[in-house]
């Protein structure tokens, strides 16, 4: 082999080694960052799709927050409905016990006092203005509220976004207890005295009608809770699918990248060894040529 051939071979090896450097740097960058698209020029269309999926992912997370708030509100509503039902049930017991002729006046007075307290509980839980529920004062901050919103007023109905599209909404039920049979129990006259009496002839019928109103409300709340649970499952699945799609586009395949890095390293080491041998051969050939 002539000196010129050895020199050409060395130049080819050096060029090959230089060409290996760029992909080796790219692999090292992807492994260190964990990102397949470590800069926009790697995959322009993939970067744009990842940005779009990021926006959808953020909206899905907001949907999950909406659903969690909706579930929490309905749970609070359901708990208050259970309490109201127990109060009315107790009022029914008092109405029945009050028809016991052998009870003393003191016992009747105690039942009357308990009735007043129970009706006050209903009034404080449901709330409303004096125009709505009578009496001398408004109950502006009722016990039955969620994040400052009264649960048992006339509305308007609140809606929740339960999907990515604008028409994917759920309307929460309006439970207006400031009118109807239940409102008749805790309504007060102009002096602030409750108009309902447990010893009235229609007391039992009024209490039964109020229980029916609560039972209907519980059914409506339960149906919406069921819908929210299904919607929550759909949103969770959609977000998992989005995360998987983003991972495919954006995340580096460390197994493949590590394999490629090892391959490039072997090639680089081979080129380096061959280049060293070529330089060594050239250094040994020159003295021989000078002697000739």
Q: 3-state SS string over 95-152?
A: HHHCCCCCCCHHHHHHHHHHHHHHHHHHHHHHCECHHHHECCCCECCCCCEECCEECC
Q: Which residue has the tokens 């039942």?
A: 111
Asked if the structure places residue 75 within a domain, the reply is yes
- Statement to judge: residues 122 and 206 lie in one domain: yes
- Statement to judge: residues 177 and 273 lie in one domain: no
Question: Of the candidates 215, 233, 249, which is a domain's last residue?
Answer: 249
Q: Are 37 and 50 in contact (CB under 8 A)?
A: yes
Asked if the structure places residue 39 within a domain, the reply is no
- Confidence (pTM): 0.71
Asked if the structure places residue 234 within a domain, the reply is yes
- Statement to judge: residues 118 and 223 lie in one domain: yes
Structure tokens at 119: 């009706």
Asked if the structure places residue 237 within a domain, the reply is yes
Q: What is the C-alpha separation between 6 and 45, in angstroms, rounded?
A: 46
Residue 281: which domain range? 3-34+254-291
- Statement to judge: residues 125 and 188 lie in one domain: yes
- Statement to judge: residues 141 and 220 lie in one domain: yes
The average confidence (pLDDT) of the chain is 80
Q: What per-residue confidence (pLDDT) applies to 40? A: 60
- Statement to judge: residues 186 and 280 lie in one domain: no
Asked if the structure places residue 51 within a domain, the reply is yes
Q: Are 31 and 261 in contact (CB under 8 A)?
A: yes
Chunked into runs of 10 residues, the chain (292 residues) has average pLDDT values of 52 58 63 61 65 80 88 94 96 88 83 94 95 92 92 89 82 92 93 92 93 96 91 83 74 64 67 63 53 51
- Statement to judge: residues 199 and 263 lie in one domain: no
Asked if the structure places residue 94 within a domain, the reply is yes
Summarize pLDDT for 24-61 with one digit per residue, the tens. Answer: 666 666 666 566 666 665 665 666 777 777 788 888 88
Q: What per-residue confidence (pLDDT) applies to 223? A: 93
Helical (H) or strand (E) element with 238 = helix 203-250
Q: What per-residue confidence (pLDDT) applies to 1? A: 46
Q: How many Å separate Cα 154 from the centre of its chain? A: 28
32, 35, 41, 42 alpha-carbon torsion, rounded to 10°: 90
Q: What is the C-alpha separation between 200 and 268, in angstroms, rounded?
A: 100
Q: How far is CA 208 from CA 88, 101, 126, 151, 251, in A?
A: 9, 23, 18, 22, 63
What is the count of structural domains for the chain? Answer: 2
Q: What per-residue confidence (pLDDT) applies to 160? A: 86
Q: Which residue has the tokens 């009722």?
A: 142
Query: Rounded to the nearest 5 degrees, what angle is found at the Cα of 60, between the Cα atoms of 56 and 64?
Result: 170
80: CATH: 1.20.1330.10
- Statement to judge: residues 144 and 115 lie in one domain: yes
Bridge partner residues of 251 (DSSP): 35
- Statement to judge: residues 17 and 105 lie in one domain: no
Q: What per-residue confidence (pLDDT) applies to 264? A: 62
Bridge partner residues of 170 (DSSP): 160
Asked if the structure places residue 14 within a domain, the reply is yes
- Statement to judge: residues 194 and 286 lie in one domain: no
Q: What per-residue confidence (pLDDT) applies to 284? A: 54
- Statement to judge: residues 236 and 271 lie in one domain: no
DSSP label at residue 190? T
Q: How far is CA 176 from CA 118, 128, 206, 213, 286, in A?
A: 19, 10, 17, 10, 104
- Statement to judge: residues 50 and 166 lie in one domain: yes
């Amino acid at each position: 082999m002539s000196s010129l051939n050895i020199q050409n071979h060395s130049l080819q090896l050096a060029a090959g080694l230089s060409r290996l450097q760029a992909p080796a740097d790219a692999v090292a960058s992807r492994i260190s960052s964990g990102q397949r698209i470590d800069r926009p020029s790697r995959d322009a269309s993939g970067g744009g799709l990842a940005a779009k999926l990021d926006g959808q992912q953020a909206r899905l997370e907001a949907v999950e927050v909406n659903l969690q708030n909706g579930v929490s509100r309905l749970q609070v509503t359901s708990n208050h409905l259970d309490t109201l039902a127990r109060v009315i049930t107790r009022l029914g017991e008092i109405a029945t016990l009050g028809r016991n002729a052998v009870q003393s006046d003191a016992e009747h007075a105690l039942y009357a006092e308990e009735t007043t307290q129970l009706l006050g509980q209903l009034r404080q839980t449901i709330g409303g203005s004096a125009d709505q529920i009578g009496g001398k004062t408004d109950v502006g901050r009722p016990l039955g509220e969620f994040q400052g919103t009264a649960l048992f007023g006339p509305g308007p109905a609140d809606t929740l976004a339960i999907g990515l599209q604008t028409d994917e909404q759920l309307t929460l039920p309006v439970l207006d207890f400031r009118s109807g049979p239940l409102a008749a129990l805790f309504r007060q006259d102009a002096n602030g005295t409750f108009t309902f009496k447990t010893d009235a002839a229609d007391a039992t019928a009024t209490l039964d009608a109020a229980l029916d109103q609560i039972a209907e409300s519980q059914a409506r709340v339960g149906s919406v809770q069921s819908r929210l649970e299904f919607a929550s499952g759909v949103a969770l699945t959609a977000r998992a699918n989005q995360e998987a799609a983003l991972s495919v586009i954006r995340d580096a395949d460390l197994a493949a990248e590590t394999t490629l890095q090892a391959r490039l390293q072997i090639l680089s080491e081979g080129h380096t060894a061959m280049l060293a041998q070529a330089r060594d051969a050239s250094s040994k050939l020159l003295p021989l040529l000078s002697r000739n």
